[in-house]
Structure 1
Amino acid sequence: MQTNAVLGFDFGTTNSVAALSNAGAPPEMVAFDTPNGKDSVFRSALCFWQDEDVRGGLAVEAGPWAIAEYLDYPDASRFVQSFKSVAASAVFEHATIFERRFRFEELGRLFLEKLAARAEGKLGDAQSRIVVGRPVEYAGARPDEALARTRYDAMFAHLGAEIHYVYEPVGAAYSFAARLTEPATVLVADFGGGTSDFSVVRVAEPGAARRCVPLGHAGIGIAGDRFDYRIVDRLVLPMLGKGGDYRSFDKILEIPRGYFSDFADWSKLALMRNRKTLAELDRLKKSAVDQAAIGRMIAVIEQELGYPLYDAVGQLKRALSADTQAHFHFEGAGLAIEADVTRADFETWIADDIARIEQTVDRALAASGTGAEGIDRVFLTGGTSLTPAVRAMFVRRFGEDAIASGNELTSIAHGLALIGQEDDLAAWSV
């Protein structure tokens, strides 16, 4: 029995993508309206601003429209990105935005409503089944999987459809399988903004009753945003007081590192603009040995410069994926940073992260009962898979000929829509 309409939805830390399949037809990517035309990739971001003409006095936009609104009125808005990263965090209870509190699921519902509004009616009540991707392991120090599931359920409940959750790399595997003409054991490596997830999948020959059989999975909360963190830590935080001291009575103590950890985390930076945190930073500034440095941190937060900083870091990463050296530039709030960075520098900064990612690959292989020699193909997907150090690790272990890539930002949603066409999703659902 074919399901009439299926939506495959990849809710990503950085970007979100949707694919639609009607009556068993091949999935088509949903094109969203953006300020620059149609695009199948929708940034996972929100922008809030006060507007008396809007019910409740608080307006909101999402995706590229959120970015455009922020760029037009940075001082009068609150820009929130990478909020998926806190889905499994018990520490995160709510985000305070213009003195209003928003739980994770409320942010998620606002995002989905705005995303659907930009899909020109393609996302509505027509879908009888929605297959949502989820990471193998959520981001965060101690991720609570049950909490994340509860929040996801609340986020998607209003869609009124049959909801299924599938590991994101399994969705990518199903998409990749459509390109294969013979049986293979495939390692899928999905690198997003918040997590790196791996699945080993046995792909049968075309036309088989069951094309894909998942064998084992593993994941870790290290990916593109962590690489961004390393850049901010090296190039920006020393200018904002990290490693500096403050006076406490007759003692000289190191400034608490928690402020800097939050600043370098895209999901937390915008949320630092609240009265409590800014009051704490102001008190810290008064007792700091280098008051100007803490003043610069406060200014960046108050002037909502998180997105320009994120953009500068992203430009550096992309440049270092293409060239062996690139220039970093960021200016604002009395802060001006110019630095030449080599790819070797960057790879040194993320070396420990790459090592932990490789250990996670080993765990996926062990969970599947398959050694490296049993892997026929490796499919790399997700934006961070384009990082040369990431690709080099797989080439070293599996050989250049085994590596495949492509559709880095859309393969998961495409595969989730294909999975949604199956009569029984029990084999794939989590």
Structure 2
Amino acid sequence: MTSVPQTTIGIDFGTTNTVVSMTHGDGPATLVRFPTTGGEIFAFRSALSFHAVMGANGRPNELVTEAGPWAIEAYVEDPLETRFIQSFKTFAASAAFTETKILNKRYLFEDLLADFLLKLKAHGGPAMETLPPRVIVGRPVTFAGGNPDETLALARYEAGFRRLGFTDVRYAYEPVGAAFFFARQLRQDATVLVADFGGGTSDFSIVRFERHAGKLRSTALARSGVGVAGDAFDYRIIDQLVSPELGKGSLYKAFDNRLPIPQRYYTAFARWDQLALLRASKDMRDIRALERTAMEPEKIARLIEVLDDNHGYALYRAVSALKEALSSQDEATFRFEAGSVLIEKTVRRTDFEGWIAPELKAIETAVDQALERSGLGPDGVDRVFLTGGSSFVPAVRQIFLRRFGTAKIESGGEFESIASGLALIGREPDLDLWSEKARLPV
């Protein structure tokens, strides 16, 4: 008889949030919670901040690192003196990303990941004080990026997680983790399609669950994924509603010519934390000069204020509020107010769905790939479990409603399902069926 591990731990290292879940003996999976001034949280923001403490000689003599909501607080309080990094998971599989320098200190991806995990552990308190030797880490089906290197990403993951003290690092597909979480509800054999929508990737797995001698057994049938999700939706909103009010698409005068404002000034809006880097770049001098020659100088003035006064986080929150409102309403008001900048527009859900049409198409294609690889048609799938923040977007749900019908669709545990499922996988007697062992030597 196979004994149940005393403790298992699953970590869903996400693009936007990281969630940790643990089991003790044969008990349920429980989330690790982090105490903050605003109350306990379990979704720990996947963000890092580095703040230089100046010595008496005017030079930095200490680098203070923070993570999660504490990193956001440090950045909002002092954006120009704080290096803020979020969504760094999107660089995991990029061979083009070799290192970044922070106050002349060289950081590899695994250094960033290790610093983040160590801070997460510290904020986890007694629950994370003593960790088991093995960890089940979630991984996307398809890593984000144009040409993702899966082997590189997993090697970087392992190097980072080992610094937390784990000696046995295993990876399980994120939607498979969600499937284990969902399987607790099953009362009969079923083939389940799990769709997991994160910040950077959308992943799909088809799993067969069957009961034998009272125990639930599972067989993985197919998986697919695509490197687009919630972050891409955010950028479409900003590109349509905000950037034109900050000068995108307008003109400036150069001698006798009228030229378009350079598009590169607006690419930084894909992630709000990048705006401070634009503020500190040589492009800022050119942006200030544009206010004098722009055909619509008031728009460039707004752009300068957004950058100078660090309004990026306020913009991110306004975009999130609009997405949430459009999930339940056919029409909502987008309102971004910060300093003297006010952008307020009515947005119809159909407008938003038009903006994200390329992403919806990519998601739809990946769903069809999973079905094709499983050898099943929609009728062969008994249940569909949707999880992750973007599963609330009606146009995303419609992809599944069209194929499978309302009766088969279920959702829940949008932010906890993967981590809890990973912890449950850690109790499986044959881990090789559900996870892969890290490739690096001990």
In structure 1, which of residues 228, 233, 241 is the aligned counterpart of residue 247 of structure 2? Answer: 241
In structure 2, which of residues 201, 225, 236 is the aligned counterpart of residue 230 of structure 1? Answer: 236
Q: CA deviation at 1:44?
A: 1.4
Distance 2:285 2:151 in 1: 34
Structure 2 length-normalised TM:
0.88
Distance 1:332 1:57 in 2: 32
Distance 2:84 2:433 in 1: 39
Aligned match of 2:158:
153
Contact 1:4/1:22 (8 A) holds in 2: yes
Q: CA deviation at 1:128?
A: 1.9
Tell me, yes or no, if structure 1 residue 371 matches structure 2 residue 373: no
Tell me, yes or no, if structure 1 residue 20 matches structure 2 residue 30: no
For these two proteins, the number of residue pairs brought into alignment is: 430
Secondary structure in 1 matching 2:125: coil
Cα 1:337–1:8 shift into 2, 3 Å: same
Q: CA deviation at 1:301?
A: 3.3
Distance 2:7 2:208 in 1: 27
In structure 1, which of residues 104, 120, 125 is the aligned counterpart of residue 125 of structure 2? Answer: 120
Secondary structure in 2 matching 1:205: strand
Q: Provide structure 1 residue ranges, at least 5 long, that are not aligned to the other structure.
A: none
| Bigger mean CA deviation after superposition, 67-76 or 225-234 | 67-76
Aligned match of 1:41:
43
Residues 208-223 of structure 1 correspond to what in structure 2 (within 5 A)?
Answer: 211-223=217-229
Aligned match of 2:13:
11
Distance 1:196 1:220 in 2: 5
Q: CA deviation at 1:125?
A: 4.2
| Bigger mean CA deviation after superposition, 185-194 or 297-306 | 297-306
Cα 1:106–1:301 shift into 2, 3 Å: farther
Distance 1:206 1:38 in 2: 40
Tell me, yes or no, if structure 1 residue 401 matches structure 2 residue 403: no
Q: CA deviation at 1:208?
A: 5.9
The residue type paired with residue 131 of structure 1 is I
Aligned match of 1:138:
143
CA RMSD of aligned residues (A): 2.7
Cα 1:134–1:276 shift into 2, 3 Å: farther
Structure 1 length-normalised TM:
0.90
Cα 1:338–1:75 shift into 2, 3 Å: farther
Distance 1:144 1:256 in 2: 32
Q: CA deviation at 1:73?
A: 4.2
The residue type paired with residue 332 of structure 2 is A
Distance 1:282 1:90 in 2: 35
Q: Provide structure 2 residue ranges, at least 5 long, that are not aligned to the other structure.
A: 437-442
Tell me, yes or no, if structure 1 residue 347 matches structure 2 residue 349: no
Could you give the per-residue CA deviations for residues 20-73 of structure 1, whole angstroms, max 9, x where no partner exists?
112343221111112222222211122333324899522232212223334444
Cα 1:424–1:259 shift into 2, 3 Å: farther
Contact 2:114/2:164 (8 A) holds in 1: no
Contact 1:125/1:159 (8 A) holds in 2: no
Distance 1:320 1:260 in 2: 24
Cα 1:258–1:148 shift into 2, 3 Å: farther
Secondary structure in 1 matching 2:337: strand
Secondary structure in 2 matching 1:60: strand
Q: Percent identity?
A: 49
The residue type paired with residue 176 of structure 2 is V
The residue type paired with residue 3 of structure 1 is P
Q: Return the index of the structure with the highest Cα Rg.
A: 2
Contact 2:273/2:313 (8 A) holds in 1: no
